[in-house]
Amino acid sequence: MSHRTKKILVVEDNRAINEMLVSSLQQELNIEIESADTMAAAKTIVDAQPKSFFLAILDLNLPDAHNGEIVDYVMDVGIPSIVLTGDKDTETEEAILNKGVIEFVSKNNPHAIRYIIESSRRLLENFNRKVLVVDDSDVARMLIVALLEKQNLKVLEAINGVQALKLLKVHKDIDLIVTDYNMPKMDGMELIQNIRMEYGRDEIGVIGISATNDNVVAVKLLKSGANDFIARPFSHEEFNCRINQNIDALANYKKLRLASTTDFMTGLYNRKYLFDTGTKLFQNAQRKNIKLSAAMIDIDLFKQVNDNYGHQVGDLALIHVSDILKQELREGDILARMGGEEFCVLCVNLEPEDAEVVFERVRKTIAESPLIYNDLSLSITVSIGYNDILEDSLDCLINLADNALYKAKETGRNKVIMGS
């Protein structure tokens, strides 16, 4: 079963907290929630579908389980858990954390619900995140791997910096690296320096670990490019907090990069990204390393859509066409919204005869796929202009495609004109 189809179990006897957790998690994570207010009810739910839950949020004290028995039961079933309690006892907290739960959250914290929601979101998104652990000690490495896997992270292992760099070349999607300082062949500091020659702090996070409390080691690793440093021995809670903080920071960097390169409405690349990336492709094409061509796509009579049906339907039409373009065009094509109802596609190594087939298929698919909104079925067509003549600049390449688009508009719309 895919993690996307799994659920969260909420076990909480306080009705208000239970309902708030369920509604907030459903609304913000768009995921199915099962809830119970007693241990008996929770066991009935879990026994019927033990592999359906990727996370449980548990009240420590229930009417039929006053001493945290629910935690033992759920952990024995193999469901990672966040424990929620009003008990401020430090000994109780340590005892629960020693059971291997992910988090221990106090109900007395006014931000408890928000904290749980964000922790749940991170655990769900962690299924798609990859971490590399680098340590020559099998025991130390196994401990860190176990802690990370409990956070739903995909974990790779290396015994030194040399092996780590080889793995990094193969696994380009590694998000975070946790590395020991003292290792044979290549130590943590040299590894970090090599990583930073290719990846910035906002691209791959690195956490350095050392058994020494010497601040000199921490400073060396941080100056080499580490995002963070943890001294051994560390508590599991401290380790988890540092991992989570770095993952959240990397996610925020990614969102900022995405916002600067994509169109907020359609999710396509924006004009800036098209020209930044397209200029490099154009230069490569001038050196005859690749073939580069461009197509301009415009929604026909789009102003009439806005005037007749309103801007909400107009926005839906833009999204509708964008989704079809993403489905019909090649993954390697650079597809961008240029503004308004106009789109541009930069195609690498697409032969003219293939281009005609591709864009005619795009035109036909859009024409045969009406936008359905409430009781409205709105037919949409597009005009497309294509060009593969390089000339002097990327602007010229796109302008020639735009001229072909203009001819398509002038000669009846809903057609493809191949420029020459």
The total of structural domains in the chain comes to: 3
What is residue 213's predicted lDDT score, i.e. its pLDDT?
65
Q: Are residues 247 and 276 in the same domain?
A: no
Residue 200 resides in a domain: yes
Tens digits of pLDDT across the chain (420 residues) = 444 458 999 999 999 999 999 999 999 998 999 999 999 999 999 999 888 999 999 999 999 998 889 999 999 999 999 999 876 677 777 788 888 889 888 888 888 999 999 999 999 999 999 999 999 999 999 999 999 999 999 999 999 999 999 999 999 999 999 999 989 999 999 999 999 999 999 999 999 998 866 678 899 999 999 999 999 989 888 999 999 999 999 999 988 888 889 998 999 999 999 999 999 999 999 999 999 999 999 999 999 999 999 999 999 999 999 999 999 999 889 999 999 999 999 999 999 889 999 999 999 999 999 999 988 999 999 999 999 998 889 999 999 999 999 999 999 999 999 986
Q: Which residues are catalytic?
A: 341
Q: Are residues 249 and 140 in the same domain?
A: yes
Residue 325 resides in a domain: yes
Residue 341 resides in a domain: yes
Write out pLDDT tens, residues 51-97.
Answer: 899 999 999 999 999 888 999 999 999 999 999 987 667 777 778 88
- Whole-angstrom Cα distance, residue 334 to residue 351? 16
Provide the CATH number for the domain around residue 360. 3.30.70.270
Closest CA to 405 of 306, 273, 292, 300: 300
Q: Are residues 283 and 414 in the same domain?
A: yes
Q: Are residues 344 and 389 in the same domain?
A: yes
Q: Are residues 349 and 410 in the same domain?
A: yes
Residue 208 resides in a domain: yes
Residue 140 resides in a domain: yes
What is residue 1's predicted lDDT score, i.e. its pLDDT?
40
Of 80, 109, 124, which one is at a domain's C-terminal end? Answer: 124
Of 124, 159, 178, which one is at a domain's C-terminal end? Answer: 124
Q: Are residues 103 and 79 in contact, defined by beta-carbon separation less than 8 angstroms?
A: no
Apex 242 CA angle, 254 and 170, nearest 5: 55
Q: Are residues 277 and 414 in the same domain?
A: yes
- Whole-angstrom Cα distance, residue 374 to residue 303? 21
Residue 204 resides in a domain: yes
Q: Are residues 231 and 163 in the same domain?
A: yes
Residue 265 resides in a domain: no
Of 193, 228, 260, which one is at a domain's C-terminal end? Answer: 260
Q: Which residues form the domain of 335?
A: 271-418
Residue 212 resides in a domain: yes
Write out pLDDT tens, residues 345-397.
Answer: 999 999 988 999 999 999 999 999 999 998 899 999 999 999 999 888 999 99
Cβ neighbours for 147, distance < 8 A, ≥ 6 positions apart? 236, 239, 240, 243
Q: Are residues 42 and 169 in the same domain?
A: no
Neighbouring-strand partners of residue 210: 231
Q: Are residues 414 and 277 in the same domain?
A: yes
Closest CA to 301 of 411, 385, 414, 403: 414
Q: Are residues 136 and 29 in the same domain?
A: no
Cβ neighbours for 290, distance < 8 A, ≥ 6 positions apart? 281, 284, 348, 349
Q: Are residues 118 and 134 in the same domain?
A: no
Provide the CATH number for the domain around residue 180. 3.40.50.2300
Q: Are residues 341 and 309 in the same domain?
A: yes
